[in-house]
Structures are given as C-alpha cells and as structure tokens.
A and B are shown apart, each in its own frame.
Chain A
Amino acid sequence: MLFNSLHFLVFLPVVLVLYYLLKHQYRWVLLFVASSYFYSVFYPPYLLILYAIILVDYSAGLGMERTTGFPRKLILLVSIVANIGLLSYFKYYNFFIDAANDTYAALGWEGNFKHLAIILPIGLSFHTFQSLSYTIEVYWKRQKAERHIGYFANYVLFFPQMVAGPIERYASLGEQLHIKQVLNYDNIANGLRLILYGLFIKMCVADNLAPLANQLYSNPGNVTTASTWIGLVAFAIQIYADFYGYSTIAIGAGRCMGIKMMDNFRQPYFATGIQSFWQRWHISLSTWFRDYVYIPLGGSRVSTARWMLNILAVFALSGFWHGANYTFIIWGLAHATLYFIEYFLHKTPLLPFTKTFSGRAIGGVITFTAVTLVWVFFRAADMTQAKLVFESAFGIAQTAEVIIEPTLWQLLPVAVFIVFEALIYGKRFEEWAGSYSVAIRWSTYAILAFCIVLFSGIQTYPFIYFQF
C-alpha cells in the first residue's frame, strides 16, 4: 500500500481506532493482520517470503540462545545464508547471470545462461537487513531472543516501516511493541504533523521534480548544459524528498501508535562535507553498515591502508545493496573516493578555513555539487547513459537540443520546502511546529494542505526506495 494513497488514509485511522480499542495483549494480532494486509496490497504471494524470513530468524534467535560454540555459529550462518540467499535470488540472480555471461564471453567461451522472470518483492532489502540485525545481535548476546513469534513477526512486518525503513533494531522497535501504549494526545498530534509534512514532501516536491529529472535521463547526451544541471539538481532534491517524505510518514504513522522510530535524515544537503553528509543521509542504513560491517572489519582502529579498505568495502556494499547494477557499485565507490579526499584534505592546513562560516558555506556548496554529480551513477540505467549525462553537464556532448524548463508551479513547492527545511534545521518537523503558537502552527498546516491540494503531482511516481 502506498502512503500517498486514499487507501492508506482510510487504512491508518481504522487501524488506530482498533489499536487503541483493543487490550494490549491482543494488539499484536491486529498489527500482524494489518501489516500483512498492508503488504499484500502490493502482491499477496510475496507475503510468504516475509513469513519465511520471520520463521527462520525467529527460530535462529531461539536456537542461538540455547546453544554455544560451533552450533551457535552454524545457526547464525543459516540465518545469514537464508536472508542473503533470498535477497540474492530475487535481487541479484539476473545480475550474476549477466556477469557470468560477460565473463564467459571475455574468455572466448559461449556463456548462455538465461535470465529468470523475477519481480523483486517490494522492500526485500529492508526486511532482510532488519531481520538480520536481530539474529546478529542475539548471536553477540546483546539482544535476548524473542519468545513470542507474534511480536517478532510484527518487528519484521511493522507496516509503517516495512517497505522502506527506517531499518530498526530489535532493542528499539521490538521492545516498544511489548510496551502497553495508551492513547496520548501528543503522540497522535505529532504523528499527524509528521504525516502531513511527509505527504507534502513526497507529493509536492518529489513528484513535481520527477518529470524534470526524467526528461534529462530520457534524452541522455542531448540536453543543453544548463538544462542538464537543472535535471541533476532536480533529481538530487527528488530522491531526497521522495525518501525523506516516506520516512517522515513512516515515523509519523508509528508515532500515532506510540512507537518512536529513529530519524533517517537530518537535512543532509546542509552538510558541509561528505562525512557529515553520511551522518545525515539514510542514517538507519549507514548505522547498519557501521555496526555489522565496518566495525567487525576493524573500523578505524587499524592501519590507514586497512581503514581505507574497510571504507571502500562498506561503500561498495552499500551501493550494491541499492541495486543489482554496476552503476550502484560505482556510486558507492565514488562516495568512498570523496570521503578519502575530504579525509586527507582535513590533514592539510585547509582545516582551520573549514571552521569559519564562509568556509562551511563553501564546503556545503562543494558537497552538494559533488553529491549531485555522483547521483548520476545512481539514476543512470547504465554506464553509457551516465557518460552521456556527464558530457552534457560539462558541455562536451555531441548534441544539445532538449531544454528542460521547470514551471513556476513545480518550483513553488520546492521553495516552500527549502524554507521549511531551513526553519526546522536541527529539529524534526513536529518538534518545530509544536514549539510555536497556535496561530503559526495552524497557518503552517494550512500552507502545507493548500500546497498538497493544489500543487501535488498528478503523475504516479512510486517511492524510489521501494525498488530496493
């Protein structure tokens, strides 16, 4: 089910009313049914995959708690293989087939492995990573195994965040599901504020910018330089607004039930450096990779060369997590390169400069420009398309016939969004709104509602991160 749908706007209130009417001990049943229904709207048979993940990891948690030594390791391995195996089959099978065929061709052999007609279950990368974090935590004895399969199922299935995060840890989400939540005005008010703001970001900002970005990528190498930059910036803001909007609605929906989820974004485009950008962008995934890949590899407590290798590994894996395409891996590696450049620049006399206001401002512009350019690898269908877009961006394309012209109605909501983001800097929307007088607060709601009613895009653009 899409968040920006009438279906959801009916579904959520119904679930909330039933949730607060039911006794705490029955709520897990409601959440399980509601979450299953929420997911089944996309494609019912794929619920079975989620149930399989739940069953495997629930059993693995219990098994690990009762064993030690090699059997314990073996159970963890089974859980990892099951989760990554499912992900590999649905997401990476055809990619590996292509890679095998390419390798065979390069060796002069005839590789004729066939593609499978597989549809990636929506949000599979999110479920598997969330569920895996549980088994790893149980293995490390930092988390007690959940005994109630219903609660564990709800941890994996919790509908507000099941398809695109935030990727929560059991210690946070799982434990909160056990707590008896009472109907609380602040929770509902804050949750609804977040949902309103999230809908505005998705429907008015992301969906209005999507056609501009699409125009650039559907005419690669044939767009004027100025228009290419319009398209590039449009995509940079679109992907942020799309994912940030989704996360904000997810956090809001959870909050309405008294569940607090982690922030996934903290104004990443106001970051003054790449390191800072990654502390603000898709935080739940970054911290997942930090905790379960980077630190186990030795983190930064190793030689510089080894540290660089660790960083490269994390970024490459992060890129590959996003999609089964070389472009995503290159996107990850490009970020690693920027990360290294910044790291070594900080070791030079430039460091004091970056502590001044003007230095930070320049740093912010450079970071935004670099991130915007690197998004090309993320958005392009293949390296050829990426190359053509870069050629257009730097004015060396063979042709330049297409002009991208944003309308005032596309730009107005973006301007409103940027103003809001500057105003709420360092806070979440609901905290910011809640700190003002009734008049300002309700005027804000009116502005957001007016924008949604009048300026939301009428083309359907599914949440970009659903495909991951």
Chain B
Amino acid sequence: MWKLLYKLGLAAVLLIVVMAIANPIYTRYFFKKDVGEAKGQILFDLDSLQHVCDVLYFGESSDFSYLESDTCHYSISEMIDTLSSKKVGRLSTHAQHAGSYLQLIKYIKPDSRVKTIVVTLNMRSFNAGWIYSKLETPLMKTNVFYQTYPPILRRIQVALNGYDNTPDEFRQKKMKWHMAHDKINVPDTFRYKNITDWDFDVGNNNAYGYYNPDSSWNGSKIELACHFIKTYAFSIDVEKTHVLPTLITL
C-alpha cells in the first residue's frame, strides 16, 4: 500500500516536472498556432488592443452583417469608432456568445487604457436552437484557450476533451426535446405552446401561406415563419411573447 502511494506520488512529481519543462516550449512555439486553429485569435488581439483603445467592442455576427442595399456598410463597432471621439477596439467573432466574452474580459489588465466595454448578446444565449447548436462544441473548446492558467494546462484540457463536446447527433436530440417541451408564456387562446407545434403546423398545414396567390413561394413569409418566429419569438422573453400574434398578422 505504502509502496503504491509512494510510486503514485513519484508519478505526480514526474508529471509536474514534465509540464514545467513543456510549458515554456509550448508557449513559445505552439500556443499561437493552437489558439489560431481553435479560432481564438481575439485572445491575442485583446492583448494588443487593450493598451491603445478606450473602448473594447465584443461583438458577434451582428458586427459583420449588413444588407447590400444599406447605404453604409460599416459594422457597428466601426461606426462607433468613426462617430465618437473614442478609440474603439473591435474584438468581434462570428457565432460568439456572452460566455466567451466573460472569460476574455478577465484578460483586461488594471493598467490598460480601456474605460468602456461593449458586449453584445445574441440569440444564441436564449433559445434551444442555438444553445444546442453544433457550433457550441468548437466555442466551448475555444473558451478553454481563453482561460487564465498556464497554456500547457489549457492544451491538456483541450486534448483531454475537458469541455462540453457532446456529439452533434445528441445535441440535435436535446434541441428537439427542448423545442417540444420548453414552456412558453402565451395567451391560452394561442394555438401553439411550443416550437415543435408551430413547426409542424407551418410545415404540414401551410397555415401561414408559403405561397403567393400565383402559387409562387413567398420568401418573406417563409423567412418570417420558419426562421424568425421559430427561432426567436418563442424564446426571447416570456413577457414579450404576446408579440407573436402581431408578428403573424404581419
């Protein structure tokens, strides 16, 4: 028994020594590449921007999207940068959510120039379609690289699947379960109690008119019914779900 404990202790010491030797090698030669591969480049951007910017803008897809027909193609952060006297640092990445930013904000040092932080919250933070989306796996992995402990430990955590890496098919199942079971606060008179009911009716009974009178597809209505209402209207805020009928009437 004592021999076993002694040897296990030795093994633990060996592991610590190995990691202590490996950490500087890893940090110097591999860390940047790994973080880049995990799409976590903003970790390094943050390092440089926090000393030259007054405002840090943590955005997601909304900071990239615009319509071709828009007169101004600036992103939101660029617009703030242009219109205000403050220097705005853009740390936006597609498909990010507040969980990642929370971790990144810890990297802002007390002696940095930053006075204001803007964090945008997208729908990913609210509805099952996004919470259980397969995009969550790579995001969770990137989040590990955003931790503040030594890089070699972050690497080991990633290599040992120390994050939520639920396989896509199981995420899908969870998403469908929540779409069918999550309760929403709608008036009793409203026919649909969850996303699945809505989806089924829209898909099967053509309740909200996929077609124009000339039998062509009505793109706007399909987008409204299948994307916006299904994805957002059932989830944003239980107090505001009364907007649903209004949206439908639209």
Contact = CB atoms under 8 A, between A and B. Distances in A.
15 contacts: A2-B161, A6-B161, A7-B161, A7-B162, A42-B170, A119-B170, A188-B4, A446-B17, A449-B14, A450-B18, A452-B159, A453-B155, A456-B159, A457-B159, A458-B34
A460 B165 contact: yes
Contacts of A43: 170, 173
Interface in B1-54: 1, 3-4, 7, 10-11, 14-15, 17-19, 21-22, 25-26, 30, 34, 37-38
Interface in B193-225: none
A156 interface: no
Interface of A: 2, 4-7, 9, 42-43, 119, 183, 185, 188-189, 192, 203, 409, 442, 445-446, 449-450, 452-454, 456-460, 462
A204 to B, nearest CB: 9
B14 A185 contact: no
B3 A4 contact: no
**Chain B at the A interface: mostly helix, strand, loop or mixed?**
helix
B159 A449 contact: no
A6 B22 contact: no
A202 to B, nearest CB: 10
Nearest to A199: B160
B22 A203 contact: no
B68 interface: no
B169 A6 contact: no
Interface in B91-135: none
Contact of B152 (A4, A7, A453, A462): A453
Contact of A119 (B10, B26, B34, B169): B169
Given A185-B4, A189-B7, A453 B156 contact: yes
A449 B12 CA distance: 11
B244 interface: no
A454 B22 contact: yes
Nearest to B165: A460
A124 to B, nearest CB: 14
Given A442-B10, A454-B25, A456-B159, 4 more contacts: A5-B160, A119-B170, A454-B22, A458-B141
Contacts of A42: 170
B157 interface: yes
Given A452-B159, A453-B156, A454-B30, A119 B173 contact: yes
Contact of B21 (A450, A457, A458): A450
Interface string B221-234: 00000000000000
Contact of B15 (A7, A409, A449, A458): A449
Contacts of B80: none
B22 A458 contact: no
Contacts of B170: 42-43, 119
Instruction: Name the 8 nearest CB pairs between A and B, nearest first.
Output: A456-B159, A6-B162, A5-B161, A449-B18, A453-B22, A6-B160, A458-B158, A454-B22
B22 A450 contact: yes
Interface centre among B4, B10, B152 (most CB of A within 10 A): B4
Contact of A458 (B7, B11, B37): B37
Interface of B: 1, 3-4, 7, 10-11, 14-15, 17-19, 21-22, 25-26, 30, 34, 37-38, 137, 141, 152, 155-162, 165, 167, 169-170, 173
A2 B164 CA distance: 12
B152 A446 contact: no
A453 B11 CA distance: 14
Given A119-B169, A462-B167, A453 B18 contact: yes
A183 B155 CA distance: 34
B207 to A, nearest CB: 24
Contacts of A4: 159-161
A442 B19 CA distance: 15
B159 A446 contact: no
Nearest to B19: A453
Contacts of A462: 167
Interface centre among B1, B18, B37, B137 (most CB of A within 10 A): B18
Contacts of A189: 4, 7
Given A450-B18, A458-B38, A203 B159 contact: yes
A144 B232 CA distance: 60
B3 to A, nearest CB: 6
B155 A458 contact: yes
Nearest to A448: B18
Given A6-B162, A9-B160, A442 B14 contact: yes
A445 B161 CA distance: 22
Given A450-B21, A454-B26, A462-B167, A185 B156 contact: no
A462 B21 CA distance: 29
Contact of B3 (A9, A185, A445): A185
Nearest to B23: A453
Contact of A445 (B11, B156, B158): B11
A449 B159 CA distance: 13
A8 to B, nearest CB: 8
A189 to B, nearest CB: 7
Nearest to A43: B170
A196 to B, nearest CB: 9
